[in-house]
Amino acid sequence: MNNSQLFTPEMMLYITVGLVFVVSLLVLLLSVYVLQVLKAFVEKQMTEEQRVAAAAEPSWFAQLWQKWNDFKPIEKEDEILLDHNYDGIKELDNHLPPWWKGLFYVTIAYAVIYLLVFHVFQTAPLQEEKYDMEMAAAAALKASQEADLVIDFDENTVTASTDAVELADGQKFFEVQCAVCHKADGGGLAGPNLTDQYWKNGGSFTDIYKVIKNGVTGTAMIPWESQLNPIRMRNVASYVQSLQGTNPPGALPPDGDLYDPQQEELETISNDY
Ligand code: HEC
């Protein structure tokens, strides 16, 4: 990893936020300390009576707690006692706590703002619109990525790749997308065994590529063209072909016709003459 990778804008952001956090913590600690010193200083100047009066006053936190909850002290409950009495069960006319009312008003304000933003002025997209936007962005990204690919083959001229990176890419996709039906080792489950020489749809490389691209109508083998770009389809097809003769344990029995690559080669040669 070199320096330019280490100091990405994202990394710089994290570092800055971290520093700001540490500095504000230090400032907070320092101000608490200064306040303590000031308090001690003021107390030193006070007379004895002032000191007793200050100690009797409820703390800052107790005052805040009282303000937010608006409790009626038990001694004053008579003032809010309602005049009904059910078999000795009485009812107090307590206020809602101010913190609760505050939250309630916040939700009302939020609902009004939400309504204005999303439904009256329509300044922000609703879920469905947002979904469409994200799909469009993904499609644009896919198109731009595919625009960079050099695709110099079609389903009739495609040849197997022997590149280790491309085969590994094919294997990864096979294990994620295809293994549910063909088993991770290609031995076959709901889909046929791909490791033997018997094929239902032909065993040449272009046959395999075509099955992956176009699927087999009326079976669970769907066309993958919309999900995999041509390079990736070639990688997956190359990986499938590389499974030939691996003979994994528990593989399904042969299905379809024997495909013999040598036979094919002879036929091609004889066709040429
Ligand atoms: C939902 C199950 C399913 C999934 C997922 C699936 N396949 Fe298939 N596949 C099948 C079935 C079923 C067949 C047999 C079609 C037929 O009867 O001709 C088949 C056939 C094939 C064949 C031709 C086999 C032959 O004998 O002619 C190949 C190659 C193949 N699949 C590759 C793949 C690859 C690569 C993937 C992943 C990108 C994949 N399959 C994903 C079910 C599946």
- What does the pLDDT profile of the chain (273 residues) look like in tens digits? 455 567 788 889 999 999 999 999 999 999 999 999 998 888 888 888 888 887 788 888 989 998 898 888 888 888 888 888 889 898 998 889 999 999 999 999 999 999 999 999 988 899 999 999 999 999 998 888 878 888 889 999 999 999 999 999 999 999 999 999 999 999 999 999 999 999 999 999 999 999 999 999 999 999 999 999 999 999 999 999 999 999 999 999 999 999 988 776 666 666 555
Residue 178: Cβ-neighbour burial (10 angstroms; 0-12, 13-18, 19+): buried
User: Using only C-alpha atoms, what is the Rg of the chain?
Assistant: 38
Transcribe 23-73 into DSSP letters. Answer: HHHHHHHHHHHHHHHHHHHHHHHS-HHHHHHHHHSPPHHHHHHHHHH-PPP
Q: Is the CB of 221 under 6 A from ligand 1?
A: yes
Q: How many A from CA of 192 to the centre of ligand 1?
A: 7
- CA-closest residue to ligand 1 atom 7: 221
Best mutation site among 221, 224, 228, 232 for ligand 1 pocket (most ligand atoms within 8 Å of CB) = 221
Q: How many A from CA of 6 to the centre of ligand 1?
A: 44
Nearest Cα residue to 197 out of 152, 244, 158: 244
- CA-closest residue to ligand 1 atom 29: 208
Q: How many A from CA of 154 to the centre of ligand 1?
A: 20
Q: Is the CB of 243 under 6 A from ligand 1?
A: no
Q: Is the CB of 199 under 6 A from ligand 1?
A: yes
Q: Is the CB of 252 under 6 A from ligand 1?
A: no
